[in-house]
Amino acid sequence: MKNYKFFQNKNCEYFPCHKDVAQENFNCLFCFCPLYLLDKKCGGNYKYINNIKDCSNCNVPHIKGNYDLILNILKREVF
């Protein structure tokens, strides 16, 4: 795995912020999801609570191998 595609901050008080990803595969690179503003086109597991997008059940940006997936979604929807 190329080092620009994966990063962990084990000193973060929230690490890991999602408990259902194995710690050795948890990627902190996209701590704030770059797909969040794509709304329903983000491809993640989200729900709306009082008209606020809740992504706490989504692991898409935190899975080690999803760097290319995220870039492809951004290319398709934004660029």
In tens, the pLDDT along 38-48 reads: 999 999 999 99
DSSP secondary structure string for all residues of 26-49? B--TTSS-TTGGGGGGS-S--EEE
With bands split at pLDDT 50, 70 and 90, how would you rate the model's confidence at 1?
Answer: low
Q: What is the pLDDT of residue 29?
A: 94
Residue 37 pLDDT greater than 80, yes or no: yes
SS3 of 58, please?
A: coil
With bands split at pLDDT 50, 70 and 90, how would you rate the model's confidence at 2?
Answer: confident
- CA distances in angstroms from 73 to 27, 51, 78, listed in the order given: 18, 24, 8
Continuous segment of H or E residues that includes residue 52: strand 52-54
